[in-house]
Chains A and B, each alone.
Chain A
Amino acid sequence: MSNKTQNRTKTAMTFSRPKLVLLMCCILVTSAVTIALIGRHWFDAPDFMQQASSALKRGDREAAISALRSQIQGNPESNAAKLKLATLLQDSNPDEAIQYLQQIPASDPERENAVQKIAVLSILHNRTLEAEQALLELATKRPESLGPQLSLAELYFQNQKPETALPYAEQAARIAPDRAQTFLLISEIHDDMLHPEKMIEPLQEAIRIEPDSYEAHQNLAYAFHKTGDSVKAEEQARWCLNVNSRDVAALRILASAARDNGQFEDAEKHLTAALKVEPLNLDCRILEADLLLYQRKPQVAYERLHELYDSQQNTVRYLGALARAAASAGKREEARKLHQRVAELLRQ
């Protein structure tokens, strides 16, 4: 029943997904290379496989690909050739590479290696379905392996399936309990599920592991603020500001906490500091407008918000705030049009 509030401090949620993907790729590629090195059947058809090997030695990639295609054509069961060909095609033609890898049957000793490659390629090339299938296979085979669990959690999270992501993230946390980033991911998943109250424990765990994790402190400030604990939110925001006095998200949380506590001068002071760093920050501008409306200054609120119109005219949250300020300032017709625009954008 609950609604996701539009002004989530996503600036405070800076969990490094590219890094995680890169890390996962490294893990999977390293595993693949290791398996390849100790593999037994690189060349089970000496003719074309030999040609491919020679071509690679002299740097003729195209010739190697051609030889491997011939090998597969002559011997469709040549899984080693498919694996090798997929490796050569993975950058230039990932779709075809994945197709070859998918042809390696479950009975083949190289299957796991192939599935790892599929997972890596699929993640890198946004082939969600293939990535999911590959990672699920790996996770089933090796439930205690961190990589597949974490990658699945990330995959589902990025594809707006937080409920599905959560158990994999929690399993990853059980496998590697000292990895702070996993707890950050768990907290983000809870945020996406509109449960800020559940963000707190994993974030505290992340801080236990990495006491100086800026992201964890920043996100914890956000979580405490969302759950109405102004005192703790302020504590965490101040920690962040000690490290980075120009942290706009932290300044905004301080301003909000001060407002919650009825300390309006403090709220304005923090807001002014935040807007000095980022004069056009939307969250801060909306908070500023809220305070102006509270002070019964709707015209000023409207004018300040209107300054952002050119850059924010397609932002629902902004238009809603502007509409409310307009209505309070007596501009009913403009407010009506703005609400209509909001409705249009929401329909889209």
Chain B
Amino acid sequence: MLSLRLFFLMLCSCVPAMCIMATLSGCVLLCCPVLAQSGIRLTDVSRDVKIDFQHDSPLTPERHLHLFMGSGLAWIDHDRDDWPDLYFCQGAAFSAGKSSDSQHRDQLFRNRRGIFQNITALAGLRNVDYSMGTAVGDYDNDGFQDLYVSSYGPNHLYRNNGDGTWSEVNNQSALNDPRYGSSCTWADVDGDGNLDLYVANYLQLPPDDYPLCSHEERGKRYPGGCHPRYQKHEYDILYRNNGDGEFVDISEAAGLMSETARAGLGILVFDSDDDGDLDFYVANDTVHNQLWINSGKGTFTDDALLTGVAVNGFGVAEAGMGVNGGDVDGDGRIDLFVTNYFNETNTLYRNDGIAFTDVTSEFGLGAPSKQRLGFGTSFLDVNNDGWLDIFVANGHVQSYPPELEKHTPFAQLPQLFLNQNGRRFEEVSLDAGPYFHERVVGRASGVADFNRDGKTDIAIQHLNHAPALLRNDSEPAHNSVTIELIGTQSDRDGIGARIEAKLGDRVIVRVCNGSTSYLASDERRTVIGIGAHESLESVIVRWPGGRRESWRSLGTTGVQKLIEGRGLVE
């Protein structure tokens, strides 16, 4: 046995492939300390898979705020080949607008079995505004996912023509709203089977009357972004999709203007009160977050304060950036996670049914986030053990000379938190690969299984930098089942549908999310980790509107397409 140990010890300086050999032989503890600790490995393969995008947001000497907010991304199966394609939003220089250089447009990369090809020009996408958030959804139920892009400037709706090309929908002036849009999402709020659209808006920063600020430190004045709390905020917008190609702004009638405007940055659609219709949670910058509860009759009431998600556990409104939702503790309810500012914690709100409880510290997420400024946050089961883990993209919004950045760095380390069976999270960032050792100015993040290996990968946008695509190389490779929902009465994407997967004595609950994180859209398919199990025993889907159907005998691992109306009615 001694000689065998020596052999594996020799592999300590080995290549990853040899580490995997060691893992398979069960001797990982002897060989690779990184894998031995968590087994989590996320490798940036963006260059290898030919993603040559470069975000561009030239910072001005005056430090115009929007130039620091970054741009989004979207996983979208543009050609329905079952491989998720990747759309990157692009920034733009202030005042000059975007150049006509193709590199300064939003870019669409087609995924050809794990290798990407830039098809922006072929697809006919020509977005030259400062793009922010993305919402992916089949608004016309034609089977092809469409795309809405919010901007600092007019927003844009792109219709997928289904033949590899796209058309901007120009006959809907309301959709080209010029206000400063941030995250946005599709969701069928009235149960008519058509996707409506929620756009979170941020601040009033008109180019010709742009608020500029500075602060004094050590006898010098430094320009920097103005404090959002003291800027003019924008109301969010809700558009009703009439199903005939027409969108109507129903924000006021729906109640979104029943309280003061807020500086919205993150949006999540989910059924907060479990009544079958879809609600919205909006992460606002420096002011109370909002939880818009759907009455089911087309009107909404903000219940954030009374349900405990307007402020953190100290009663303080934080600077909400990104948001995500999922059942992190296995109780079947959707919990919320909001990324916040430097010297604040990112905040985990546990859904207790009647209200939410800030359990950030108890779940081990408080201390590690205090010295970070979180933006994008993605929920993924990185090790396919059936528990949702959390990725956070970090980076400050103030860029100062080095002498001032000592304590509040602009570029920051990203983080990965591993779920410990629903009880707590453990940060495993430094064991998760070289990407987590490099300071970046992280912004949007979105997840997809881009190489169809049954493991969820992450794409991250960086401010003024190339993006990262983190391939999930974690070992051991637990099994997973991928669920794709196809709505027939509901919207085709099943956005907001709840998936209850039975696995032994557990019921794993997942939501078919609309947009999540910060300015991002995940792949619509849901990867459910099942550990060493071979398959799920059954799946119950609650479609938007409340209809429940179940499927049994789903077969072994792989992709399961669940079509509404073909399951057993529950």
Which residues of chain A have a CB within 8 Å of any CB of chain B?
1-7, 163, 166-167, 170, 194-198, 226-230, 256, 259-262, 264, 290-291, 293-294, 296, 298, 316-317, 320-321, 324, 327-328, 330, 332, 335-336, 339, 342
| B384 CB within 8 Å of chain A | no
What are 25 sample pairs from A and B whose C-beta atoms fall under 8 A apart? A1-B227, A1-B319, A2-B319, A2-B341, A2-B343, A3-B318, A6-B316, A163-B216, A163-B217, A166-B218, A167-B218, A195-B407, A197-B408, A228-B370, A229-B367, A260-B367, A262-B362, A262-B423, A320-B314, A320-B315, A324-B357, A328-B354, A336-B306, A339-B306, A342-B315
Are the CB atoms of B367 and A293 closer together than 8 Å?
no
Q: How far in angstroms is the closest Cβ of chain A from B10?
A: 35
Are the CB atoms of B316 and A327 closer together than 8 Å?
no
- Kindly list chain B residues whose C-beta atoms are within 8 Å of the C-beta of A2: 319, 341-344
Are the CB atoms of B362 and A3 closer together than 8 Å?
no
Are the CB atoms of B308 and A328 closer together than 8 Å?
yes
Q: How far in angstroms is the closest Cβ of chain B from A290?
A: 6
Are the CB atoms of B354 and A226 closer together than 8 Å?
no
Q: Indicate whether A328 sits within 8 Å of B355 (C-beta atoms), given known contacts A2-B343, A167-B219, A256-B361.
A: yes
- Kindly list chain A residues whose C-beta atoms are within 8 Å of the C-beta of B364: 260-262
Identify the closest chain B residue to A342 (Cβ). Answer: B315
Are the CB atoms of A3 and B306 closer together than 8 Å?
no
Are the CB atoms of B366 and A198 closer together than 8 Å?
no
- Kindly list chain B residues whose C-beta atoms are within 8 Å of the C-beta of A230: 367
Q: How far in angstroms is the closest Cβ of chain B from A347?
A: 13
| B307 CB within 8 Å of chain A | yes
User: Which of B286, B358, B366 is in CB contact (< 8 Å) with A3?
Assistant: B286
- Kindly list chain A residues whose C-beta atoms are within 8 Å of the C-beta of B359: 294
Identify the closest chain B residue to A229 (Cβ). Answer: B367
Are the CB atoms of A262 and B343 closer together than 8 Å?
no
- Kindly list chain B residues whose C-beta atoms are within 8 Å of the C-beta of A5: 314, 316
A6 to B219, CA, bound (A): 30
- Kindly list chain B residues whose C-beta atoms are within 8 Å of the C-beta of A262: 362, 364, 423-424
| B215 CB within 8 Å of chain A | yes
- Kindly list chain B residues whose C-beta atoms are within 8 Å of the C-beta of A6: 314-316
Are the CB atoms of B361 and A7 closer together than 8 Å?
no
Q: How far in angstroms is the closest Cβ of chain A from B280?
A: 20
- Kindly list chain A residues whose C-beta atoms are within 8 Å of the C-beta of B344: 2-3
- Kindly list chain B residues whose C-beta atoms are within 8 Å of the C-beta of A336: 306
User: Which of A3, A259, A294, A330 is in CB contact (< 8 Å) with B354?
Assistant: A330
- Kindly list chain B residues whose C-beta atoms are within 8 Å of the C-beta of A163: 215-217
User: Which of A264, A316, A332, A335 is in CB contact (< 8 Å) with B362?
Assistant: A264
A316 to B317, CA, bound (A): 13
- Kindly list chain A residues whose C-beta atoms are within 8 Å of the C-beta of B341: 1-2
| B352 CB within 8 Å of chain A | yes
- Kindly list chain A residues whose C-beta atoms are within 8 Å of the C-beta of B343: 2, 194-197, 226-227
User: Which of B218, B227, B306, B371 is in CB contact (< 8 Å) with A197?
Assistant: B371
Number of residues on chain B facing chain A (CB within 8 A) = 47
- Kindly list chain A residues whose C-beta atoms are within 8 Å of the C-beta of B567: none
Q: How far in angstroms is the closest Cβ of chain A from B419?
A: 13
A197 to B423, CA, bound (A): 29
Are the CB atoms of A324 and B313 closer together than 8 Å?
yes
Interface SS of chain A? helix
Are the CB atoms of A327 and B306 closer together than 8 Å?
yes
| B228 CB within 8 Å of chain A | yes
- Kindly list chain A residues whose C-beta atoms are within 8 Å of the C-beta of B196: none
Q: Indicate whether A7 sits within 8 Å of B366 (C-beta atoms), given known contacts A2-B344, A167-B219, A330-B354.
A: no
Q: Mark B298-318, 1 if CB is under 8 A from A, else 0.
A: 000000011110010111111
Q: How far in angstroms is the closest Cβ of chain B from A208?
A: 19
| B285 CB within 8 Å of chain A | yes
Q: Mark B390-424, 1 if CB is under 8 A from A, else 0.
A: 00000001000000000110000000000000011
User: Which of B215, B285, B308, B423 is in CB contact (< 8 Å) with A1?
Assistant: B285
| B229 CB within 8 Å of chain A | yes
A317 to B316, CA, bound (A): 9
Are the CB atoms of B313 and A228 closer together than 8 Å?
no
Chain B residues 316 to 363 lying within 8 A of chain A, measured CB to CB, are: 316-319, 341-345, 352, 354-355, 357-359, 361-362
Identify the closest chain A residue to B372 (Cβ). Answer: A228
A226 to B354, CA, bound (A): 30
Known: A321-B315, A339-B306. 5 other contacts (CB 8 A): A2-B342, A163-B217, A296-B352, A327-B306, A328-B354
Identify the closest chain B residue to A316 (Cβ). Answer: B315
Chain B residues 110 to 132 lying within 8 A of chain A, measured CB to CB, are: none
- Kindly list chain A residues whose C-beta atoms are within 8 Å of the C-beta of B352: 296, 298, 328
- Kindly list chain B residues whose C-beta atoms are within 8 Å of the C-beta of A320: 311, 314-315
Question: B308, B311, B361, B362 — which one has the most chain A CB atoms within 10 A of its CB?
Answer: B361
User: Which of B286, B316, B317, B371 is in CB contact (< 8 Å) with A228?
Assistant: B371
Q: Indicate whether A317 sits within 8 Å of B315 (C-beta atoms), given known contacts A228-B367, A229-B367, A264-B362.
A: yes
Q: Indicate whether A3 sits within 8 Å of B367 (C-beta atoms), given known contacts A197-B343, A264-B362, A336-B306.
A: no
Are the CB atoms of B219 and A328 closer together than 8 Å?
no
Q: Indicate whether A7 sits within 8 Å of B370 (C-beta atoms), given known contacts A294-B357, A328-B308.
A: no
Q: Mark B364-377, 1 if CB is under 8 A from A, else 0.
A: 10111111000000
Identify the closest chain B residue to A7 (Cβ). Answer: B314
- Kindly list chain A residues whose C-beta atoms are within 8 Å of the C-beta of B219: 167
A333 to B358, CA, bound (A): 20
- Kindly list chain A residues whose C-beta atoms are within 8 Å of the C-beta of B316: 3-6
- Kindly list chain A residues whose C-beta atoms are within 8 Å of the C-beta of B216: 163
Identify the closest chain B residue to A256 (Cβ). Answer: B361
User: Which of B317, B318, B366 is in CB contact (< 8 Å) with A260?
Assistant: B366
Are the CB atoms of A260 and B355 closer together than 8 Å?
no
- Kindly list chain A residues whose C-beta atoms are within 8 Å of the C-beta of B358: 290
Q: How far in angstroms is the closest Cβ of chain A from B500?
A: 22
Are the CB atoms of B369 and A228 closer together than 8 Å?
yes
Q: How far in angstroms is the closest Cβ of chain A from B215?
A: 7
Q: How far in angstroms is the closest Cβ of chain A from B391?
A: 19
A327 to B354, CA, bound (A): 8
- Kindly list chain B residues whose C-beta atoms are within 8 Å of the C-beta of A342: 315
Q: How far in angstroms is the closest Cβ of chain A from B287?
A: 10
Are the CB atoms of B361 and A197 closer together than 8 Å?
no
Identify the closest chain B residue to A295 (Cβ). Answer: B362
Identify the closest chain A residue to B321 (Cβ). Answer: A1
Q: How far in angstroms is the closest Cβ of chain A from B89?
A: 23
- Kindly list chain B residues whose C-beta atoms are within 8 Å of the C-beta of A7: 314
Are the CB atoms of A226 and B370 closer together than 8 Å?
yes
Identify the closest chain A residue to B397 (Cβ). Answer: A1
Identify the closest chain A residue to B343 (Cβ). Answer: A2
Are the CB atoms of B368 and A228 closer together than 8 Å?
yes
Question: B215, B219, B306, B424 — which one has the most chain A CB atoms within 10 A of its CB?
Answer: B306
A256 to B313, CA, bound (A): 13
Identify the closest chain A residue to B318 (Cβ). Answer: A3
Are the CB atoms of A328 and B357 closer together than 8 Å?
yes
A293 to B370, CA, bound (A): 22
A256 to B367, CA, bound (A): 10
A163 to B222, CA, bound (A): 13
- The 10 A-B residue pairs whose C-beta atoms are closest, nearest first, are A320-B315, A228-B370, A228-B367, A1-B319, A327-B355, A294-B362, A260-B367, A328-B355, A3-B316, A197-B407
Q: How far in angstroms is the closest Cβ of chain A from B139?
A: 34
A324 to B315, CA, bound (A): 9
Are the CB atoms of A1 and B286 closer together than 8 Å?
yes
Identify the closest chain B residue to A8 (Cβ). Answer: B314
Q: How far in angstroms is the closest Cβ of chain A from B356?
A: 8
Q: How far in angstroms is the closest Cβ of chain B from A160?
A: 16
A324 to B307, CA, bound (A): 8
A290 to B358, CA, bound (A): 8
Q: How far in angstroms is the closest Cβ of chain B from A173?
A: 13
Q: How far in angstroms is the closest Cβ of chain B from A253?
A: 12
- Kindly list chain A residues whose C-beta atoms are within 8 Å of the C-beta of B306: 327, 332, 335-336, 339
Q: How far in angstroms is the closest Cβ of chain A from B374?
A: 12
- Kindly list chain B residues whose C-beta atoms are within 8 Å of the C-beta of A256: 361
A181 to B411, CA, bound (A): 34
A340 to B340, CA, bound (A): 25
